[in-house]
Structure 1
Amino acid sequence: MLGEANVSHASVRYFSVYGEPQTVKEGSHSWVVAWMAMRAKLGLPLHLNGGGRQVRDSSGLEATGYAKIGEFELSDFLTRWDALHDDALQVLPERIHPTVQIHPTAIIGEDVIIGPGVRVHEFSTVRKRSVLGAGPSVGFGCELTHSFVGENTVLGHQVGIGHSIIGTGAHLSANLVIAAISLWNYDLRVPIKEIVLHSPVDEPPYHCTTSQFGGLIGDKVQTGSMIALGRGIAVGRHSVIAVSVCMGSAIVPAASVVRSSSPEVVIETRRI
């Protein structure tokens, strides 16, 4: 709001700030000053768990361009994505948060960023500049390529996502694929055909300015299984995609229900 009003501003999230009131909260990590002050006053030793190494429970992306992902125009973000990721790798003290649980059979690329509380299950692959925020669960046999997955999103078993952006709290069920390259390229190994999105209403097509883009899946989107999306799709927040839907190059409004009514796809308003 302040930015829209052309007012210069900054947002700061405080942790462990000294001052009144210093109320001790059981199990809270943000009141370390109060805990130590209380123990010092009582003449008790000051304990540092884990040998003195501090671990934050944030996504770790706050100091990177990914923290402002919601402010980008889609085409602008897609154009700058690689540069933003390179900058993030330089800024972050560690690519993979120490609380992450990765199954021994999973494969994690050397340029992947993974936040706290993430679980990557058996035989899954996360590669090529992918980012997992805080708390996502990646199911059995998934493959993520050059994709961003928001906080607490669940990917069911055998989900394949390429060059896509998934919002927070989404739930993508088993056997879902988001393709990133147009089938109408002369050679799929060298894609040159631009990805274009088409709206269900009378609006001009949206040009993504790239030949590789899978989808933008909004916050709290839920899907059934056996679904094929892309290349190029934008699904609005709180939408539901029913089982066996196959669609691409489309813009789905927020709070929609998408279901297959052979031989056509039907989009209707979702009642919440």
Structure 2
Amino acid sequence: MKLEEMKITELFDTSHTIAARLFEGKTYPWEVLADLGSFIEQLGATLPEKEYRKIGKNIWVHRTARMAPTIALGGPAIICAGADIRQAAFLRGRIIVGERCVVGNSCELKNVILFDGVQVPHYNYVGDSILGYKAHMGAGSITSNVKSDKTLVMVHAEEGDQETGLKKFGAMLGDGVEVGCNSVLNPGTVIGRNTNVYPLSSVRGCVPANSIYKAKDDIVTKEVREVEEAPAPEIPEAEKGKKGLKVVK
């Protein structure tokens, strides 16, 4: 995968995230990770009170988001319209959960942007990562965000290794990426738009757009599949503004 293919404009349609302004002036998506926390605090302060509740310190939750009473939520964080945060999810802070996203039972998020329509529905860990529009991680799949030797993470482009200056860097998933169950995305992984990763894969490095990743030496090109807009889920009146979640201090 060439470095050109890893640019923000190649991986993401930023019209599908409330964080679009964060990407302005940046070339590669990992460049925004260090600024995410302060950006959330600034953006949250501008969100309309009619649409967002502020809970705890620097946590803004849209009034149509469904929040299970057993989740733990730390700030800064923004949870957007129609998001569904399910039982026992652990959201550690510096997170943006986009519109209609699903964060499932026992999932853990930290320093991440989930574009609109992303699903991390079952036992996923996503840290120091960005998941593009309607990306999906199968049950048990995770991003590994720190190298075992604790050195800085490199991105392995065709032109050679690229320094990121980051000790913690999980994965960048382009729009429409599908990650199979129980896969591990190793530090510095970049996956292009509309690519599928087979279950039980250990992905290291970069995978081109519109591909099927079967194994390190078995990556095939597939037909382009358009990412379709999903209708927003109906939010029962009884669920709107529901309280009871645990706020992490």
Category of TM-score, reference length = shorter chain: 0.7 to 0.9
Match of residue 130 from structure 1: 95
**What is the one-letter code of the residue matched to 2:223?**
R
Determine if contact 1:79/1:209 at 8 Å carries over to the other structure. Answer: no
Structure 1 pair 111–82 and aligned structure 2 pair: CA distance change class (3 A)? closer
Contact 2:37 2:76 in 1 (8 A): no
- 1:198 aligns with 156
Aligned runs of 1:159-174 on 2, under 5 Å? 159-174=124-139
2:73 to 97, 108, 126: 108
Checking the alignment, whether the CA contact within 8 Å between 2:195 and 2:210 is kept in structure 1 is yes
Structure 2's unaligned 5+ residue stretches are 1-14, 53-59, 225-249
Mapped partners of 1:122, 1:266: distance in 2: 37
Q: Tell me which residue corresponds to 1:216.
A: 172
Residue from 203, 210, 214 that aligns with 1:255? 210
**Distance (Å, rounded) in 2 between the aligned partners of 1:233 and 1:78:** 14
More strand by share: 2
Output the CA distance in 2 between the equivalents of 1:109 and 1:80. 17
Aligned-partner Cα distance in 1 for 2:23–2:133: 11
Choose the corresponding residue for 2:116, options 141, 145, 151: 151
- Give distance in 2, aligned partners of 1:153 and 1:103: 18
Contact 2:86 2:104 in 1 (8 A): yes
Output the amino acid matched with 2:210. Answer: A
Which residue of the partner structure matches residue 179 of structure 1? 144
1:85 Cα deviation after fit: 2.6
Aligned to 1:87: 42
RMSD over equivalenced CA pairs, Å: 2.0
Counterpart selection for 1:68 from 18, 21, 28: 21
Please give the alpha-carbon distance, in whole angstroms, between the structure 2 residues aligned to 1:198 and 1:228: 17
Bigger radius of gyration: 1
CA contact (8 A) 2:103 2:119 kept: yes
Q: Which runs of 4+ in 1 moved over 4 A?
A: none
Structure 1 residue aligned with 2:229: none
TM-score, normalised by the number of residues in structure 1: 0.68
- Give the residue type in structure 2 aligned to 1:196: M
Partner of 2:185: 229
Distance in 1 separating the partners of 2:168 and 2:182: 22
Q: Secondary structure at the match of 1:169?
A: coil
Matched residues in 2 for 1:112 and 1:83: separation? 10
Partners of 2:182 and 2:90 lie apart in 1 by: 20
Alignment partners' CA distance in 2, 1:69 and 1:216? 15
Q: For residue 168 of structure 1, give the secondary structure of its aligned residue in structure 2.
A: coil
Q: Hey, what's the Cα distance between the residues in 2 that align with 1:124 and 1:110?
A: 14
Give the equivalent residue in structure 1 for 2:219.
267
Q: What is the SS of the residue equivalent to 2:40?
A: helix
Q: CA deviation at 1:59?
A: 8.4
SS in 2 for 1:96: strand
Q: Which residue of structure 2 aligns with residue 240 of structure 1? A: 196
Q: Deviations over 1:181-219 (max 9, x none)?
A: 11112xxxxxxx2110113x3x12222221111011010
Show CA shifts across 1:84-114 (max 9, x none). 2332233334411000101111111132110
